[in-house]
Chains A and B, each alone.
Chain A
């Protein structure tokens, strides 16, 4: 066995000697035959010919001998060398093909990198697929917060989770030295980090029971906070830090790799500790739960378990828990659920783009195989077997695919870097790992898979063509009619595929683009221009009393209104376009009530707020400076609330209150405003009520400032004015309303998708049109002679035009029709991404048809003109 291999190698390296020896041997053979014939009395010349004849094709013989002993890959190398020579000889074709493939492949690889990171890579926790997002739900809230009392019951009662923990967002005023700064933080239950399977890199985690009310105030730092605010010193453990006036002892620092997307910005992690005003009520929901499934327990079982406990609690505490169910989903779902439709849309887009690129190169190859028919025929006549010829094409296809792949990987790597930087911030804060997408094994495997696909397509398109070819037919000058038609049909079919794909991508891009536009131009119910906003956190210790806060509100209102260029100032607990949150359950006086939760947005606003937003008053009056704690409790509602709870009635003067109509909760409606969109741009308008902030008071509030000129320019003076009022105020999120809209999650996601899909569509358009041009131009060049004859027989130039254009139109129309049907199907699939536009949006589809149609006509006009300008005599003489 080894001997044989050795001998094969010896032959491989001594190929020159092998060949000369074989030649000599065969020459000797011929000479002997010749001598024998001469002995038999044949003339010397004749003998030589006879011997040659009998001996046959020496080259072929040599190849056969070589085949018998050589390695398979030797011929593969030969094919490869030949293929390279072929490609070098037509660099235009080779470069075009490789560039097209590299583009298609690069885009696919890059987008796959993101999909892989977001959808395939596990979360950075121990056994992440056993982690659950555990929350309450109710009508209208598929995922609602968990109240602390409910959380404690769920934790105690459940039998399906090995641990259940809670977390909630919190903001603190961090005092370091003489400066005060608002910082994002999180309050978590004692087992939060151990449930995730995360250990602090410094110090310790929270111990069981350390989250109970009355326990010492301790805090764990995020890695970034430790590095930037505490200089990365290892002796921070045991030191204290001032958060909103309380002193917390640092017990640990989280590792650098720690990410918790739902509370990603948190700098400080504090145990739940004392119950805040919300947590003292079972009906107030401010936390979320994470649970870890017990071994062998399914998520369905856990969901049923939680629902059972929720039902039990609803029966036990109907006032607070009626209608409160349980929602359980994988934690993974919570984190990537939002971006999945976008990423899958993008991935499908790249798949289509890659398909169109491959088809384009395949049709280029077809054209080439047509012009290489004679070469193939000659090789066949010289003894190349069909298998060997096919192998040649397969080799060329693989070579092209490999070159395209190499280019594609480089391009893809670059694109990944570029896209990582382009990922919108809110998406990044949600999915931090999208910031560092790189080539990894998954991506490389994916690249290999698509290269194989491309190689198969590229290799077998010409082979398909080859098998339909008759050798003798091809050798002769003729044979163009039958084979020509075959090619035309295959090539034309490919072009139809390309055009249909281009339609799908263009329509997709158009629809997403329109959604993006609709989103930015959605009816907000207020004037979004010339509006500067800022958020304020007043330290609890200095503003614990209502009158202190009201004085602060009035002072802010007065001082900001005095700034030059300021037209109006308003204060509110939440600015518009933030969220449908901070809700209240209401009950209308005098209407049937069965304990249902009538959930409405509840906003505490200053008298000037709604006017500053330029909200439209529909009925009654706005709130005034008189509406404070010493006057009757009044509210303004929006039209949505009026429509839902007072259909066909005049709500002015009606009263509403809490579920039990407690006297101190009763308030009278004095005005109705047109809906101001409180939730995100892509969310529904909810019923909302506006109360006077002078009555309720909150240490966290936002300010909206209406300006005459550039609203951006006034942000610094707002800042300094507020600091002038009280240097201990925490001030953050200074931005204009327009900036806030443009950078809202919904807008950015749509923008991101619109840009990328638009890019794909542009490439698809170019590729499709180039493909069409290729087919038409090729068919014109094949028919030059026919056109010459027609013209010699008196055909007008217009007739020649219509001859060519008819073919192009037929292809275009077929492609458009197929594409249209497919794109309506495709748009249905990405309906989650569409906003305010139907999948069969006529203007979009019409413009796609128009753009593609025009481009196609332009592309086929060039060859048509060439055909029409054919000189009949030249054309007839040409062959």
Chain B
């Protein structure tokens, strides 16, 4: 786990929301999905995943439903709500603006 970059602060909620935008998923699935999509670069610490999920639940951006998995165990599947989708858009826009801004700062002037 060492040597991997930490998540940018404040991006975890966005990543979870985005992941859930693709399909409803349980906690483990979310962690796995983020890991796979990032080619193993981003690892969501379990220690932050569950508090984050609770936060999103309280905000009303996701909702949880207990379902049975393929292996026959009960798991809580999280689904994005309409409010969550709206929030995701807001966060994406903000994030884009941030990345562009950082990019501008990092770009050398003669290349511009």
**Which residues in A have some Cβ–Cβ distance to B below 8 Å?**
3-4, 7-8, 11, 21-22, 24-26, 28-29, 31-33, 35, 54-56, 60-61, 64-69
Do residues A8 and B58 form an inter-chain contact, with CB atoms below 8 A? yes
Contact yes or no, A28 B54, CB < 8 A = no
Residues of A within 8 A of B93 (CB): none
CA distance in complex: A54, B54 (Å): 20
Are B51 and A11 within 8 A (Cβ)? no
Cα distance A31–B27 in the bound complex, in angstroms: 12
Query: Which of B1, B31, B57, B73 is within 8 Å of A69, CB to CB?
Result: B57
B47 / chain A contacts, CB cutoff of 8 Å: 56, 60-61, 64
> Do residues A69 and B54 form an inter-chain contact, with CB atoms below 8 A?
yes
Answer whether A7 and B57 are a contact pair too, CB < 8 Å, given A25-B27, A25-B75, A31-B73.
yes
The answer to whether B76 and A25 touch across the interface, beta carbons within 8 angstroms, is: yes
- Nearest CB in chain B to that of A35: its residue: B71
- B90: CB under 8 A from chain A? no
**Pair B50/A22 contact, Cβ less than 8 Å:** yes
The reply on B55 being an interface residue by CB < 8 A is: yes
Question: In the assembled complex, how far is the CB of residue A38 from the closest CB belonging to chain B, in whole angstroms?
Answer: 13
Which residues of chain A are within 8 angstroms of B52 by Cβ–Cβ distance?
68
B31 CB contacts on chain A under 8 angstroms: 29
Cα A672 to Cα B93 with chains together (Å):
109
The closest CB in chain A to the CB of B60 belongs to A3
Contact of A24 among B1, B53, B74 (CB under 8 A): B74
Which residue of A has the minimal Cβ distance to B1?
A54
8 further A-B contacts with Cβ under 8 Å, apart from A25-B75, A25-B76, A68-B52, are A4-B60, A11-B58, A21-B66, A25-B27, A32-B28, A69-B54, A69-B57, A69-B58
B28 touches A29 (CB 8 A): yes
A28 to B32, CA, bound (A): 13
Asked whether, in the complex, the Cβ of B73 is within 8 Å of the Cβ of A28, the reply is: yes
Contact (Cβ within 8 A) A61 B58:
no
Task: Tell whether, in the assembled complex, residue B74 and residue A56 are in contact, meaning their CB atoms are under 8 Å apart.
Answer: no
Contact partners of B27 in chain A: CB under 8 A: 25-26, 28-29
Contacts of B75 in A (CB 8 A): 25, 28
B46–A69 touching, CB < 8 Å: no
Q: Are B26 and A7 in contact (CB under 8 A)?
A: no
Q: Is B100 engaged at the interface, CB distance under 8 Å to the other chain? A: no
Contact across chains for B58 and A28 when beta carbons are under 8 A apart: no
CB distance from A1 to the nearest CB of B (A): 10
Q: B46 to A55, Cβ gap below 8 A? A: yes
Name the one of A31, A32, A35, A68 contacting B51, with C-beta atoms under 8 angstroms: A68
| Distance in Å: Cβ of A17 to nearest Cβ of chain B | 11
C-alpha spacing A801/B71, complex, angstroms: 76
The verdict on B89 contacting chain A, using a C-beta distance below 8 Å, is: no
Could you give, for residues 1-38 of chain B, a 1 whenever the CB lies within 8 Å of some chain A CB and a 0 otherwise?
A: 10000000000000000000000001110010000000
How far is A25 from B26 in the complex, measured between Cα atoms in Å? 8
Bound complex: CA A442 to CA B46 (Å)? 55
- Chain B residues within 8 Å of A56, by CB: 45-47
Tell me which residues across on chain A come within 8 A of B53, comparing CB atoms: 65
For A8, list chain B residues within 8 Å (CB).
Answer: 58
Q: A7 to B51, Cβ gap below 8 A?
A: no
Please, which residues of chain A bring their CB within 8 A of the CB of B73?
28, 31
Nearest first, the 10 A-B pairs at minimum CB distance are: A68-B51, A32-B28, A69-B54, A64-B51, A69-B58, A65-B51, A68-B55, A65-B54, A29-B28, A68-B54
Once bound together, how far apart are the Cα atoms of A8 and B47, in whole Å? 21
Q: Is B59 an interface residue (CB 8 A)?
A: yes
| A67, B51: Cβ atoms closer than 8 Å | yes
For B45, the chain A residues whose CB sits under 8 A away are 56
- What separation, in Å, do the CA atoms of A576 and B45 have in the docked complex? 94
B46's nearest neighbour on chain A, judged by CB, is A55
**Given A28-B28, A28-B73, A28-B75: A61 in contact with B46 (beta carbons within 8 A):** yes
Residue of B nearest to A10 (CB): B58
Give Cα A69–Cα B64 distance, bound, in whole angstroms.
15
Q: Which residue of B lies closest to A54 (CB)?
A: B46
Determine the distance from Cα of A4 to Cα of B56 in the docked complex, in whole angstroms. 10
Q: Can you give 25 A-B contacts (C-beta < 8 A)?
A: A4-B58, A7-B57, A7-B60, A8-B58, A11-B58, A21-B76, A22-B54, A24-B76, A25-B50, A26-B27, A26-B50, A28-B26, A28-B73, A28-B75, A29-B28, A29-B46, A32-B28, A33-B28, A35-B71, A56-B46, A60-B47, A64-B47, A64-B50, A66-B54, A67-B51
With A55-B46, A65-B51 given, is the CB distance from A28 to B59 under 8 Å?
no
Q: Is the beta-carbon distance between A4 and B50 smaller than 8 angstroms?
A: no
In the complex, what's the smallest C-beta–C-beta distance from A731 to chain B, in angstroms? 86
Q: For the complex, give the distance between the alpha carbons of A29 and B57 in Å.
A: 18
Q: Which residues on A sit within 8 Å (CB–CB) of B76?
A: 21, 24-25
Closest A residue to B45 using CB positions: A56
Chain A residues near B59 (CB, 8 Å)?
4
Encoded as 1 (CB less than 8 Å from any A CB) or 0, chain B from 68 to 83 comes to: 0001011110000000
Whether B50 contacts A69 by the Cβ 8 Å rule is no
Instruction: Give the residues in chain B near A65, CB-CB below 8 Å.
Output: 50-51, 53-54
Write the chain A residue with the least CB distance to B73. Answer: A28
Question: Taking the nearest CB of chain B, how far is it from the CB of A626, in angstroms?
Answer: 109
Q: Say whether A28 contacts B46, CB under 8 Å.
A: no
Chain A residues with CB under 8 Å of B46's CB are 26, 29, 54-56, 61
Give the complex CA separation of A7 and B59 in angstroms.
Answer: 8
The docked-state distance in angstroms from the alpha carbon of A55 to that of B53 is: 16
Distance between Cα atoms of A66 and B58 in the complex (Å)? 11
Give bound CA distance, A24 to B74, whole Å. Answer: 8
Report the nearest B residue to A32, measured CB to CB.
B28
A18's nearest neighbour on chain B, judged by CB, is B54
> In the assembly, what is the distance between CA of A26 and CA of B46, in Å?
9
Q: Which of A7, A31, A60 contacts B58 (CB 8 A)?
A: A7
- Nearest opposing residue in chain A for B69, CB measure: A28
Residues in B with CB closer than 8 Å to A55 are 46
Q: In the bound complex, how far is the Cα of B2 from the Cα of A575, in angstroms? A: 101
Residues of B within 8 A of A25 (CB): 26-27, 50, 75-76
* A673 smallest CB distance to B (angstroms): 95
Complex: how many Å from CA A54 to CA B46? 8
Residues in chain A near residue B66, CB distance under 8 A: 21
Report the minimal beta-carbon distance from B8 to chain A, rounded to whole angstroms.
19
- CA gap between A22 and B52 in the complex, in Å: 13
A429 to B28, CA, bound (A): 83
Contact in complex: B28, A69 (CB < 8 Å): no
CA distance A66 to B47 in the complex (A): 12
Distance A26 CA – B74 CA, assembled complex (angstroms):
11
Given contacts A21-B76, A29-B28, A31-B73, contact A61 B54 (CB under 8 A): no
Closest to A56 in B: B47
Residues of chain B lying within 8 A (CB to CB) of residue A22: 50, 54
| Smallest CB gap from B66: residue in A | A21
By CB atoms of chain A within 10 A, which of B27, B31, B46, B53 has the most? B46
| B94 CB, nearest partner CB in chain A, Å | 21
Closest to A11 in B: B58
Q: Which residue, B26, B50, B59, B76, has most C-beta atoms of chain A within 10 A? A: B50
